Structure 1
Amino acid sequence: MRKFSCILSIILLFSLFLLYLACILQVTINYLLGNLGKKYSNTVGVVDLGGGSVQMAYAISETDAAKAPRLSDGEDTYVKEMFLMGTKYYLYVHSYLHYGLLAARAEMLDASEDSTNPCILAGYDGVYEYGGKDHKASASPSGSNMEECRRLALNALKVNESTCTHMKCTFGGIWNGGGGDGQKNMFVASFFFDRAAQAGFVDSTVPAAKVQPSDFENAAKRACETELENAKSIYSSVDDNDLPYICMDLVYQYTLLVDGFGKSFALERVVKVH
């Protein structure tokens, strides 16, 4: 029992650390843009896609902040009050644990209805290791298929499950902060930038670039039409261990943007985070 409590404490501390990083990233970007001190509607929000989780942070209205759901003991609040450059902000911050890019691979592989997976590039038959567990990763005879892969991504995000007990949710039954003006310009980072650069629609040498969800969609379509034997010549900067999953990764990112975070989420730029 003591060991279990220790594990829960570690998970909680790690979650708090991720929330802290999301806050810092949102504040830093808005500082660099000269937005701090202005109305919350003039700020930008951020989504940081890591391997095990994805964090979202954006400023919301005082009215929406007052509607934040009460969480059980031990859980961190959805809203942080911050006083920056003479202005009070209500910052929606949430870490979606187990929805990071690498964690999503495991979910999408396990969601396959047979021994093959429509997200894996044609020609690959192997095992994906994540979380101390092996996950079968074999291409279907017809190769990867974006639409079928999208279905697995939707299942992984649980967007069609009726678990939302709040007025507005993103995915997995999580309150979305109410949306609003703070979401009208969203910056995405980390794995979003990495895959965008590797797919060729963002220059890897620039710190930020304007993108749209359709850029990820088009890149996913191209990746899912690629066979493993040709993948390295197209995606030369992708690690060999990641090549079989390039279709899966881009499909998941596109699905996360358009279905996970929903219509109120307006993508503006992808940024590099060191």
Structure 2
Amino acid sequence: MAPAISPRSSNYERLEGGLGPSRHKRFGWKKIAIVVCCIVGLVWFFGPREPKDLGWGRKKDPTVQRPILDDVDTKPLPPPPMPPATIGTAPPRPTSYASDPDHLSTVYCSAPANPTDRLVQYALMIDAGSTGSRIHIYKFNNCGSSPTYEYEVFKMTQPGLSSFKNQPSAAAESLDVLLDEAVSVVPESLRKCTPVAVKATAGLRLLGSSESAEILEAVKRRLQDKYPFPLQEKDGVVIMDGKDEGVYAWITANYLLNTIRADTPTNTPSYAVLDLGGASTQIVFEPKFTKPDSSLADGEHKYDLQFGGKTHVLYQHSYLGYGLMRARKSVHLLVDFMASLRANTEGAPIGNPCLAKGTERVVEVKEERSGVTKNVTMIGENIGGFEACDRVMQLVMAKDAICEVKPCSFDGVYQPSLLDTFPSGKVLLLSYFYDRINPLLPKNKTPRITVSTLANLAKDVCQGKSTWTRKWGKDKDAMKELEGRPEYCLDLTFMHALLRLGYEFGDDREVTIGKQIEGTELGWCLGATIAMVGGDLKCRI
């Protein structure tokens, strides 16, 4: 029986351009109005701990130039090296296109389990994210009763589709480099039976319904007119429902970690998956209720999943507006607003406690009410630090939002207590979590990572270059990351706040970061593709 995704789904209804669910106010200016009433108490957010110059009105030193790294996901890690084949043994299991001895066949069997199926099945999934678009070219075999995943070929391009506002044709053409890669990878005889789907995520949601619809239609036309691959019949080119994004990421991780396959031993615990993108963040886990009077409340957060012959009742939520890039915008907007109340600082650099000491960043700030966009120079100076930045995050997280159905995590969103329903389960952090944490970890060993690890890293990063040099001076890659990202302090502090304050994990809760497993990208794409190839596939005539 093929793996199946429950058809239970509904439209992902969020405020386009907003920062949270429609029934809650995440970080609105009404809250700021209340904050202003207590402005004396809030000034301490930005006050220095020593009587030092804060840099108000400080002129930018033209001799100081630091490269700024693009804020996009890092490229995937290379697949692990394959062991050499030994004479007289079965060929090694391929985990990449290069290690596959025959792209038209498989090393697992010589004939499909079902005579009507093809021995090998390719499938294409394009992730149209907020910072770039990525194609995943997957190879499956039909040696068993359902398609079995073998490996993927990955390629990315930037910028993302949302960068092409009012340019639908240019947006569609930006995917050509990805689809051309698919043409070169998929054997010609299999191309017309290789389904393709394009799933846009939070970045395109925030663009607006009219503009995003035009881009999606242009992508669909180009796929059908220029390329041989059949478009997935249902939802071939769509903005993906936020709940599906999280659940598919959960399927990908737990499938690769062998916790939910048909042959997985009963009662094998699954991983909780937390995925941090540019515009949104998702959490998915399988809560266990031990108290007789407790259960998962009904609602959009509840996802009934049939997979591998088993039933999984998942909790999921996608927080639109709480991705890393959107969190940065929220912090910068708050800092600019508070600076405007302190003094006449028009045109002068602004001290930002979430920038590392000694760093500087020109940020774009857009006033919500007026819609006016301006560039503001923000500096770390001597006011930066983990503690000061963490106090800003307390406002950004909207922890005191109205909770209609208890218990809540943050932003007034219902979530079963992780302490009660997932007390010792394994936690996997994906995407930007990995991209920011991994470069700062020791390269010669795999350290134990807890929630407090993020706080400790943030404390060191926020202190500036002297601390960087002492901690990571011998690691050129780490220093390049730190020197090229003035907001590294902000990023790590937000991640810690998300885990500690938002989801209420304990400081000693162990977590795992991940990017790939044996050359396969972690994220929602493989999970969505497994659902696609497990359905009714049709070849293009």
Same fold (TM over 0.5): yes
1:135-191 per-position Cα deviation (integer Å, ceiling 9, x unaligned): 6351254142111100111211112x2421221111111111453138732111111
1:68 maps onto 2:298 in alignment: yes
Q: CA deviation at 1:230?
A: 6.7
The letter for the 2-side match of 1:47 is L
Query: 1:57/1:156 Cα in 2 relative to 1: closer, same or farther (>3 Å)?
Result: same
In structure 1, the partner of 2:356 is 121
Q: Does 1:269 align with 2:508?
A: no
Contact 2:359 2:380 in 1 (8 A): no
2:397 is matched with: 157
Aligned to 1:211: 449
Tell me by how many angstroms 1:91 deviates: 1.4
1: CA distance between counterparts of 2:246 and 2:306? 16
Letter in 1 for 2:438: A
| Counterparts in 2 of 1:130 and 1:27: CA distance versus 1, 3 Å | farther
**For residues 125 and 209 of structure 1, what CA distance do their matches in structure 2 show?**
31
Shift in CA distance, 50/189, structure 1 to aligned 2, threshold 3 Å: same
The Cα of 1:6 is off from its aligned counterpart by 3.5
Quote the residue 2:301 is aligned against: 78
Q: 5+ residue gaps in structure 1? A: 70-76
- CA–CA distance in structure 2, aligned partners of residues 30 and 262 of structure 1: 23
Deviation string for 1:170-228 (max 9, x for gaps)? Answer: 11111114531387321111111111122x2265x99x975211111111010011149
Aligned residue type for 1:246: Y
Q: Which runs of 5+ in 2 are unaligned?
A: 1-206, 216-237, 340-349, 522-541
Name the SS for the 2:319 alignment partner: strand
Matched residue count:
256
Residue 185 (str. 1) matches residue 426 (str. 2): yes
Give CA deviations for 1:32-68 in whole Å, capped at 9, x if unaligned: 2222156678111100001111111111348633x13
**SS in structure 2 at match of 1:236:** helix
Match of 2:414?
Answer: 175
Comparing both structures, which one devotes a greater share of its residues to helix? 1
Of the two, which has the highest radius of gyration?
Answer: 2
1:195 is aligned, of 433, 436, 449, to 436
1:34 to 248, 258, 261: 258
Question: Could you tell me whether the CA contact under 8 Å between 1:53 and 1:98 is conserved in 2?
Answer: yes
Among 110, 116, 128, the alignment partner of 2:333 is 110
What is the match of residue 198 of structure 2? none
Whole-Å separation in 1 of the counterparts to 2:311 and 2:488? 42
- Distance, in Å, in 2 between the alignment partners of 1:86 and 1:202 is 41
2:127 paired residue number: none
1:88 maps onto 2:319 in alignment = no
Residues 119, 149 of structure 1: 8 Å contact kept: yes
Aligned with 2:501 (options 245, 249, 259) = 259
In structure 2, the partner of 1:72 is: none
Question: What is residue 272 of structure 2 aligned with on the other side?
Answer: 45
Q: Name the CA shift for 1:52/1:40 in 2 (closer, same or farther; >3 Å).
A: farther
Please give the secondary structure, in 2, of the residue aligned with 1:258: helix
Which runs of structure 2 are paired with 1:13-32 in the superposition (5 Å)? 14=239, 16=241, 18-32=242-256
- Return the letter of the residue paired with 1:30: N
Moved more, 167-176 or 222-231: 222-231
Question: In the superposition, relative to structure 1, how do residues 247 and 257 fare at CA in structure 2: closer, same or farther (>3 Å)?
Answer: same
User: What residue is the counterpart of 2:128 in the other structure?
Assistant: none
1:59 pairs with 267, 286, 295, which one?
286
Distance 1:39 1:130, change over 3 A: farther
TM-score calculated relative to the size of structure 1: 0.79
- Provide the C-alpha distance between the structure 2 equivalents of 1:251 and 1:68, rounded to a whole number of angstroms: 33
Distance 2:326 2:455 in 1: 21
CA distance in 2, matches of 1:158, 1:41: 35
- Spell out, residue by residue over 1:232-255, the C-alpha distance to the aligned partner (whole angstroms, 9 max, x if none): 967334286x52101111111111
Residue 153 of structure 1: SS of its match in structure 2? Answer: helix
Instruction: Rate the CA distance shift 1:43–1:171 in 2: closer, same or farther, 3 A.
Output: same
Q: What stretches of structure 1 move > 6 A for 4+ residues in a row? A: 7-10, 228-232
